[in-house]
Chain A
Amino acid sequence: MTEIALRAEGLYKVFGRQPMDAVARLREGTSRDELIGATAAVIDATFEVKRGEIFVVMGLSGSGKSTLIRMLNGLHPATDGTVTVGGEMITGVPSARLRDIRRERISMVFQHFALLPHRTVAENVAYPLELRGVAKGERMARAEEVLNLVGLEGWTDRLPAALSGGMQQRVGIARALAADTDILLMDEAFSALDPLIRREMQEQLLELQARLQKTIIFITHDLNEAMFLGDRIAVMRDGRIVQIGTPEDILTDPANDYVEQFVQDVDRARVLTAGNVMERPVLAVPESAGPRTALRAMRDGYSSAAYVIGRDRHLVGIVRDRDAMRLVQNGETSLTSVIRPVPQSVSVDAVLMDLFVPAIESPLPLAVVDDAGRLVGVIPRVTLLAALGPGAAATGELTLPPPPVPTTEIDLLLTASGSDAADAIARDEAPR
């Protein structure tokens, strides 16, 4: 088995007269708007989809994404370029061969569900198997199985019209799953659903995907959806793919102004993870260090506590300044007796959305640990706030406000410059 499930190379789709002419002119650098008598829907699309990943194609309406997905299963024949599925060319093959490929390798989920209203839910799900010539008993049993998988047990004999939108789309997904193809094309599959149901469906899709490990190509105009679902995202504009990358790449390193403008509106709290925004843990002292070292570190970091790490940077606990001071006063040299358990720590993969409550409850910048329990970074609250704003600064260096002058110094200054009473009189007279 190859690692690449689907490969598109130099795909063009031009509607209108003499499409090949238009392709040649586009290759020479003519812009899409300068073409006369032809409309270029997809221009030079090249990408690879890895087995088992969710590849999202994102773009506004008219960007060519729907045309692109239909070229991947031959519903729209490509004007130029090639599509290979699992090493097999599907562009330019006879229609009978193409039908075989659609039956065996690629299934599709549609925006408006495209269920057949005169068939029951189970018969709809069994439709791809019926086309493949599977015997009735077998295909209905399989349909029931898949319907259980998507949580629609008990609805098998109803007509689609009796189901809500979200349930109808689950039938659509079940139908695509029943076909048991490696590749699933999903064309704006959740766009027709209301936001709450959409969220639920996205989560269910990820759950299913974790179990079934299909290769999914998902089309959407909703960047939040793209960020939530996509392992990788291709951003399309005016028929061209302008950037391909992971959600974090797109968010933190947009390829051009267009993508940058686009990602301004994204819900960063649901996309960025602790790993994306964390800083180096400066307030961490080795377990073997004495209380003096710890106290010094806390003083330098303007903090009332510090993390204690063991061998391999394993997070052991925290130590408080008052405890450390007592140790120093008592002349002890080991921190062990005063180490307290870590109140809050989060995993590297946690999205920012899940960090707010721990960040509030944590007395120290939030500890970020990897799977092995090692301290890999910390997230101060300011960093968390800054990460939600747009721009590159979000994950870069921060300018912190200067620390306040210690209260003792201020008290000294105030007593030296006169009494509090005189100050109060001065304040009363000032407005006149």
Chain B
Amino acid sequence: MDGFRIPVGDWADTAIRWLKSNLDDVLDGVGFVLRWLVDTLADQLLAVPALLLIAILALLGWIARSWQFAIGATLALLLIVAMDQWEPAIQTLSLVLIAAAIALLIAIPIGILAARNATVSLIVRPVLDFMQTMPSFVYLIPTVLFFGIGFAPGVVSTIIFALPPGIRLTELGIRGVDPEKVEAGQAFGATPGQILRGIQLPLASPTIMAGVNQVIMLALSMAVVAGIAGANGAGKEVVAAISTLNIAQGVEAGLSIVVLAIYLDRVTSALGAPAAHSSSLRAALRRRRLAAA
């Protein structure tokens, strides 16, 4: 076996460099757009007074879940402000929201395709396994090469890492729709598009929303990794704390990520299962409307 080696790494290196040199303009454009999206969102959110934004987020929590949750969220978000972690937290939130939105824009159509076509499903499955098991740090190497330091490589790595559950749960949700209900659509003469929009997507929405929740949570877990690539935010604070062994900074940045994570998780999971949250503002309004009717 002496001297025998398959140079897989070299091949990947060649391929990445070839992409970089040939698609430089495209990559620059993509990087610019991503940076612009995250920066703009973060700037807009930071332009709103922190207390007002907290009030809005708490109201969202009440609409989706309950007033108890809204109070808890207010206190936790106030803690972030009190720790002077508000700006990095909002930067992280912006990165997560943009990355999750783009991931979902890609994941849901692919999931739909995979649900309708066995061949697509067969091809997509191993690719997703690959994407999910590859250590997330590895994505940073080519993305930093492509986009340089900053938000852009962070967003792209996050998208790649967060994509799989979105695709999987969309496919699962659509395949799990009662076949008799799909048949009912066909029997009354619905086109495949009408069946998708009127029957499959609405009935699969709890599962798809679970996918959305998963995508957002994975995106948040990538926030620290993105910090290594130089994306501003709580992740970068954590990385800085590690390199200087600054316990105080690390705990404060870490806590603000935890608060964000819990808030996003509870709100998105409640959106997927409205029936389970009867004390939400949404449910209360619906009850009043039904009672009036």
Chain A residues within CB distance 8 Å of chain B: 70, 73, 75, 99-104, 106-108, 110-112, 114-118, 127-128, 131-132, 157, 175, 179, 185
Cβ–Cβ < 8 Å partners of A132 in chain B: 189
Q: How far is the CA of A112 from the CA of B180 in the complex (A)?
A: 8
* Contact of B189 with A131 in the complex, beta carbons under 8 Å: yes
Cβ–Cβ < 8 Å partners of B194 in chain A: 131
Within 8 Å of chain A (Cβ to Cβ): is B187? yes
Cβ–Cβ < 8 Å partners of A73 in chain B: 187
The 4 lowest CB-CB distance pairs between A and B, nearest first, are A103-B189, A114-B184, A102-B189, A108-B187
Query: B275's closest neighbor in chain A, by CB?
Result: A161
* Contact of B188 with A131 in the complex, beta carbons under 8 Å: yes
Cβ–Cβ < 8 Å partners of A112 in chain B: 178, 180
Cβ–Cβ < 8 Å partners of A185 in chain B: 187
* Contact of B202 with A114 in the complex, beta carbons under 8 Å: no
Cβ–Cβ < 8 Å partners of A131 in chain B: 188-190, 194
In the assembled complex, the CB of A358 is this many whole angstroms from the nearest CB of chain B, namely 45
Would you list which residues of chain B between 264 and 293 have a CB under 8 Å from chain A? 290, 293
Query: B190's closest neighbor in chain A, by CB?
Result: A131
In the assembled complex, the CB of B98 is this many whole angstroms from the nearest CB of chain A, namely 30
With A128-B188, A131-B194, A179-B188 already in contact, the answer to whether A114 and B183 are too (CB < 8 A) is yes
Cβ–Cβ < 8 Å partners of B17 in chain A: none
In the assembled complex, the CB of B176 is this many whole angstroms from the nearest CB of chain A, namely 14
In the assembled complex, the CB of B218 is this many whole angstroms from the nearest CB of chain A, namely 28
Q: Which of B183, B189, B290 contacts A110 (CB 8 A)?
A: B183
Query: How many pairs, one residue from A and one from B, have CB atoms within 8 Å of each other in the complex?
Result: 60
Q: How far is the CA of A102 from the CA of B183 in the complex (A)?
A: 12
A70, A73, A112, A114, most chain B CB atoms within 10 A: A114
Chain B residues within CB distance 8 Å of chain A: 178, 180-181, 183-184, 186-191, 194, 198-199, 202-203, 290, 293
Q: How far is the CA of A108 from the CA of B181 in the complex (A)?
A: 12
In the assembled complex, the CB of B291 is this many whole angstroms from the nearest CB of chain A, namely 11
Cβ–Cβ < 8 Å partners of B198 in chain A: 116, 127
Query: B202's closest neighbor in chain A, by CB?
Result: A118
Q: How far is the CA of A117 from the CA of B202 in the complex (A)?
A: 9
Cβ–Cβ < 8 Å partners of A127 in chain B: 188, 198
In the assembled complex, the CB of A300 is this many whole angstroms from the nearest CB of chain B, namely 64
In the assembled complex, the CB of A255 is this many whole angstroms from the nearest CB of chain B, namely 32
Cβ–Cβ < 8 Å partners of A157 in chain B: 290, 293
Q: Which of A100, A104, A111, A117 contacts B180 (CB 8 A)?
A: A111
* Contact of B180 with A114 in the complex, beta carbons under 8 Å: yes
* Contact of A116 with B187 in the complex, beta carbons under 8 Å: no
* Contact of B186 with A116 in the complex, beta carbons under 8 Å: no
Cβ–Cβ < 8 Å partners of A75 in chain B: 183, 186-187
Q: How far is the CA of A75 from the CA of B189 in the complex (A)?
A: 10
With A75-B183, A108-B184, A131-B194 already in contact, the answer to whether A114 and B178 are too (CB < 8 A) is yes
Query: A158's closest neighbor in chain B, by CB?
Result: B290
* Contact of A116 with B189 in the complex, beta carbons under 8 Å: no
Cβ–Cβ < 8 Å partners of A101 in chain B: 189
Q: How far is the CA of A101 from the CA of B199 in the complex (A)?
A: 21
Query: B194's closest neighbor in chain A, by CB?
Result: A131
Q: How far is the CA of A273 from the CA of B194 in the complex (A)?
A: 49
In the assembled complex, the CB of A168 is this many whole angstroms from the nearest CB of chain B, namely 13
Q: Which of A100, A104, A107, A118 contacts B187 (CB 8 A)?
A: A107
Q: How far is the CA of A411 from the CA of B12 in the complex (A)?
A: 120
In the assembled complex, the CB of B271 is this many whole angstroms from the nearest CB of chain A, namely 15
Cβ–Cβ < 8 Å partners of B181 in chain A: 114-116
Cβ–Cβ < 8 Å partners of B203 in chain A: 116-118
* Contact of B188 with A116 in the complex, beta carbons under 8 Å: no
Cβ–Cβ < 8 Å partners of A175 in chain B: 188
* Contact of A102 with B199 in the complex, beta carbons under 8 Å: no
* Contact of A128 with B180 in the complex, beta carbons under 8 Å: no
Query: B183's closest neighbor in chain A, by CB?
Result: A75
Q: How far is the CA of A102 from the CA of B185 in the complex (A)?
A: 10
Q: Which of B178, B188, B202, B290 contacts A102 (CB 8 A)?
A: B188
Q: A70-B183, A157-B290 are in contact. List 11 more A-B contacts (CB 8 A).
A: A99-B189, A100-B189, A107-B187, A112-B180, A114-B180, A114-B181, A115-B181, A118-B202, A131-B189, A132-B189, A175-B188
Listed A/B pairs (27) with beta-carbon separation below 8 Å: A73-B187, A75-B183, A99-B190, A102-B188, A102-B189, A108-B187, A110-B183, A110-B184, A112-B180, A114-B178, A114-B180, A114-B183, A115-B181, A116-B181, A116-B184, A116-B198, A116-B202, A116-B203, A117-B203, A118-B202, A118-B203, A127-B188, A127-B198, A128-B189, A131-B194, A175-B188, A179-B188
